[in-house]
Chain A
Amino acid sequence: MIGTSFSFYTPSTERELLITLSKGALPVAGMTDVMVKIRTGKMKAKALSSVSRIESLKGVQMADDAVTIMAATTYTELLENKGLKWRLPILLDAVSEIGSTQIRNRGTLVGNIVNASPAGDGLLVAYLLDGNLEICSNEGCRSVDVRDFVKGPGQVALAPGEYIRSVTLKIPPKDSLYAFVKVGQRSAMAISVASVGVLLRLNAGTIEDFRIALGSVAPTVVRPLELERNLVSLKMEDGLFKTLAGELMNYISPIDDIRASAWYRREVVKRIVENLSVYLKGVEKQ
């Protein structure tokens, strides 16, 4: 019993979707965020239009250097996709920790991105893999970097009448090491209290590529590009991660909330980064 009513459309083509959007409907996918918000009154909607049954918005397309995930693709479908296992293992690590089986059977990566929570696990990976969105409307389609799309907690650059077709993620350089560390209040069905995603490529002990994204420690996911660039061409030495952890503290601004204190968020991010070598994994060969 949610005690409120709204119209619900299930278009089967993108054209039909656009018609419902022009009538003021909000595009939705798995509705795992939307229904929760409607029930608690945090979101008011007169009409919802689901992308879930639109065939052209389903599936995953692989290119040499990137993977395109269509908006109606569920997390479960991503986990079952063999091609992603070696192309984007960090995505699968993050996805496998989202919610529960039931949530993953419905939830989508695009929904996670539009929801724009600083705790979004999919969003963090999209930041790390330089995600790019294809946004469409009656006027045509445009492409926007995920980092530019997210304006703040729950705020995104999506105009009425627009919907997202897909998100494209770049495949990291070959032989990259990666880590996704999620700290939650329990081991499943829990929102991140803090999260860290890392990609690292070494060449004979020298850093060639380094990326780090941090969740739940600022109004949006944090990706300290400047710090990342400074690490390139450094030797991978003892103490490097410790220094990095210290410097990272300047990039985050965690808050006290119902789940954890700012102190804990800072401390735990610092400790994870100091001990990154424990978490880093290599990509399994296909």
Chain B
Amino acid sequence: MDAEKEVKTITREPETFQMNYIGKPLRRVEGLEKAMGKAKYVDDLKMEGMLYAKPVFSRHAHAIVKSIDTSEAENYPGIVCIVTSKDIPGENELGEVVHDYPMLVAPGDKTRFEGDMVAIVVARTLEAAKKGAELVRVDYEVLKPVLSIDEALKDDVHVHEPSNVKHFHRVRKGDIAAGFAQSDYIFENTFEVGYQEHAYLEPQGMVAVPDIDGGITVYGSMQCPYYVQSAVARVLGFELSRVRIIQTETGGGFGGKEDVPSYIAAPAALCAYLTGKPVKLVLSREEDLRMTSKRHPIRVWLKVGVKKDGTLMAVEAKVWGDMGAHGTLSPIVLWRSNIHAAGSYRVDNVKVDVWGVYTNKVPTGAFRGFGSPQVFFAFESMMDEIASKLGVDRLEFRRKNALSPGDATVTGQILDESTGAIETLEQAEKLSDWSNLLKRVEDFNQKNRLRKKGVGIAHIHYGVSLGAMGNPLDASGAFVQIHKDGRVGVHIGGTEIGQGMKTAMAAIAAETLGQKIEMIKVYQPDTSYVPDSGPTVASRTTLFSGNAVRKACEVLRKRMVETFADFMKVEPSKVKVTNGKFSCPVGEMTFGEVAAMCDRNNVPLSETGWFASPRLSWDPGKGYGDAYLTYAFATQIVVVEVDLITGAVKVEEVYTSHDVGRAINRDAVIGQIQGGFVQGMGYALMEFIKYDEHGRMMTENFNTYIIPTIHETPRFRIGLVEKPFELGPYGAKGIGEPSLIPTPAAVANAVSHAIGKRVKRLPIIPEYLLSLITQREAEVV
């Protein structure tokens, strides 16, 4: 790989004490098992008497189910049973936030997209289950499907009653009319952004098992075990105590395994409950692409007023998000669009409105960035447009309006000390050698007729954790147990989904306890150990679970220190614990020896930790207040080369600076930044979902849904700004999502710069770009 990585740190608080793990590059604690193929993913689970389930999906995007005939399928060899809506003992409802998603469409009801399930076939083999699913005969009355935001807004065909259109959120700050009246220039533009598929390596899947406690245990690939627990309990009509969820090693999530695993677990659990046998339900890649959530296609209309001197005066935004057939998480995803639509700058007059619209397509949901990359693409495109009209340097224009500690955000939230916005702008400027870079690119463009380079910049902020809309969910627990041999077991409610959570938790536990990192075991999450810890989303796990682990470990460390001090007959303050050793002026013991001594003396060596978000003051009616606990900031500069003959774009250089509060595991932070960039670049340049006129997805596998490969991966220069966040464990904020968020905007701005015409749509596939290039050629001639 030619990706050059370079880390620069410009701001760093003095260390309170010398740390062994925090901030160092750490090897992944679960890496070896994964690399050797030993890690157990859900499809690796096989159990005695296990049955296989295959859903019967709707053949139509919009249709009334007249009748379901299962007789032929039932007689097929190997079929155990065929489950329909009448077999559901609890509620026929999957939705976590919006309740409009029946698990199995009942006769007389409507299917609202091709991924709605009508029945589930349970069989002894996967082959028989597949065959059975083909043999279930469903009689439909086909309705006209609603397939675009425009069709949905007409509201003549309804996906759900009473309307396709829902006004979800608003921001109101200052006096918008006065803001525009005081502006010297006003800019207006509409931007459109498409779908994105998460493209996790492992498709969705679950194994549900009737367990020895008289309930159901579900194993599977997921981000949010507690969502799965409530969905299974709801559909089965069970008490929560009879539903236990254990996450298996998970091959990627990116938000795609936030709510969707509930929609796989509930059917699997129902089949297990009805048959009394373990049941496996794993989606094929095609089923996964058709049925499971995507990033929202969004349309953004923006109006921005500025003074001649470049001061932002007013921002008005209207945002429409395509929710697809079911509401699922849309209200909360679009809430983030609401908070971020007016950009990352100081501006006194703001008005934002956000609508969700139903269509007969795949339900859209959580995806790394959660409704913010789309609106930042729009806003940061406007920033470039304005800078070029004003004839000012784009970076300078951003710096002039950027947020500092003590400033108010677009929603009126006063920012804390951990606000590294300006630092990221300055670091990116240095990393890229900004003014020379612009000259270098200009030189290249002078010399080349058919290839043009462009430089793009984007500056973003990101509300870490769930924010005001998710306040009640924003708390996490941990359970830490030290065994008498000194080994440490850590249970948390957050999940490892490839992002490096286990390593971060092990590092925090090791650092806090003074034990060696290889003595820490972070278990697969299990809902029976740790109370509801909310979802593993919103870049919140290091912050929330990390704090919970730290708190539990602080108590345990204190107890061990006291036991050791007592034994050594010294003051506890004289005791040092580091790297698996307790020491004091009169002697030392290993961590294991102290643990054994505690065990002999009945000193309890298990403890729970809990971290909850402080209440936020957001007022949804007014659309004003504190939206998030804190914000992460980033500035990204990219260089692209455009082939004017074909419209192909290559991203060549990336300079990116991220304010992370504190990097817990330096290598993992770099990995997130590189991975987030590549995923954002795919969204910007090549990834799209295509539907035919009947609402059937045409791009149903990775031969037609194209994502970037290592060939498209550019060179990176990465910088970290570390301004510790006082509530974060060791000052950490989050990086999972901010790594991706600036990228679509930065890439689009670079392409616009290269061709001399504004890109207003993502993805910038060659076809769209060539249409801009030919328009531009016609204008110039």
Contact = CB atoms under 8 A, between A and B. Distances in A.
A275 B770 contact: no
B690 A258 contact: yes
B706 A271 contact: no
A187 B711 contact: yes
Contact of A186 (B126, B127, B698, B709): B709
A258 B704 contact: yes
Contact of B708 (A186, A191, A278): A186
Contacts of B307: none
B645 A278 contact: yes
Q: Is the interface of B mostly helix, strand, loop or mixed?
A: loop
Contact of B130 (A3, A261, A271): A3
Contacts of A268: 645-647, 766, 770
Contacts of B706: 185-186, 190
Interface in B193-251: none
A204 interface: no
A272 B711 contact: no
Contact of A267 (B699, B765, B770): B770
A13 B711 CA distance: 40
Interface in B706-751: 706, 708-709, 711-712
A188 interface: yes
A186 B712 contact: yes
Interface in B576-603: none
A183 B450 contact: no
B703 interface: yes
Interface in B665-712: 686, 690, 698-699, 703-704, 706, 708-709, 711-712
B704 A183 contact: no
B767 interface: yes
Nearest to B125: A3
A186 B703 CA distance: 11
A158 interface: no
Contacts of B645: 268, 271-272, 275, 278
Given A259-B704, A264-B770, A186 B686 contact: yes
Interface centre among B450, B690, B708, B709 (most CB of A within 10 A): B709
Contacts of B698: 258
B704 A272 contact: no
A275 B450 contact: yes
Contacts of B772: none
B771 to A, nearest CB: 8
Interface string A152-193: 000000000000000000000000000000010111111101
Contact of A264 (B704, B709, B766): B766
B646 A185 contact: no
Interface string A137-160: 000000000000000000000000
Nearest to B687: A185
Contacts of A234: none
A260 interface: yes
Nearest to B131: A3
A100 to B, nearest CB: 8
Nearest to B698: A258
Contacts of B135: none
A191 to B, nearest CB: 7
B648 interface: yes
A183 B712 CA distance: 15
A178 to B, nearest CB: 18
A3 B126 contact: yes
B774 interface: yes
Interface centre among B650, B770, B774 (most CB of A within 10 A): B770
Contacts of A258: 690, 698-699, 704
Contact of B686 (A3, A183, A185, A261): A185
Contact of B646 (A183, A186, A191): A183
Contact of A191 (B650, B699, B703, B766): B703
A89 B543 CA distance: 57
Interface string A249-279: 0000000001111011001100110010010
A63 interface: no
Contacts of B708: 186
Contact of B767 (A186, A190, A260): A260
A71 B379 CA distance: 56
Interface in B113-155: 126-127, 130
A257 B312 CA distance: 44
A58 B112 CA distance: 54
B102 to A, nearest CB: 28
A189 B770 CA distance: 22
A226 B176 CA distance: 67
Given A1-B126, A271-B645, A188 B711 contact: yes
A193 B765 CA distance: 12
Interface centre among B645, B648, B703, B708 (most CB of A within 10 A): B645
A260 B699 CA distance: 12
Contacts of B130: 3
A18 to B, nearest CB: 33
A268 B686 CA distance: 17
Interface in B513-532: none
Nearest to A100: B709
A170 to B, nearest CB: 29
A193 B766 CA distance: 11
A142 B361 CA distance: 53
Interface string A1-39: 101000000000000000000000000000000001000
Contacts of A186: 686, 706, 708-709, 711-712
Contacts of A189: 709
Given A186-B706, A187-B712, A267 B774 contact: yes
A85 B289 CA distance: 42
A161 to B, nearest CB: 31
B693 to A, nearest CB: 12
A264 B773 CA distance: 12
A271 B450 CA distance: 11
A190 B767 CA distance: 16
Interface centre among A36, A258, A260 (most CB of B within 10 A): A258
Contacts of A272: 645-646
A272 B708 CA distance: 24
A260 B770 CA distance: 12
Interface in A69-90: none
A3 B770 contact: no
Nearest to B704: A258
A183 B650 CA distance: 13
Interface in A225-245: none
A3 B703 CA distance: 20
Contacts of B647: 264, 268
A36 B701 CA distance: 11
A190 B711 CA distance: 12
Contacts of B766: 183, 193, 260, 264, 268
B235 to A, nearest CB: 27
A278 B712 contact: no
Contacts of B712: 186-187
A267 B771 CA distance: 9
A264 B774 CA distance: 11
Contact of A188 (B646, B650, B709, B774): B709
Interface centre among A186, A189, A190, A268 (most CB of B within 10 A): A186
Interface centre among A1, A185, A261 (most CB of B within 10 A): A185
Interface in B616-655: 645-648, 650
A242 B704 CA distance: 32
A271 B774 CA distance: 11
10 contacts: A183-B648, A185-B686, A186-B709, A186-B711, A187-B711, A259-B704, A268-B645, A272-B645, A275-B450, A278-B450
Given A259-B704, A261-B767, A263-B767, 8 more contacts: A183-B648, A185-B686, A187-B650, A190-B706, A264-B766, A268-B645, A271-B646, A275-B645
Interface of B: 126-127, 130, 450, 645-648, 650, 686, 690, 698-699, 703-704, 706, 708-709, 711-712, 765-767, 770, 774
Q: Which 4 pairs of residues, A with B, have the shortest CB-CB distance?
A: A264-B767, A185-B706, A188-B711, A271-B645
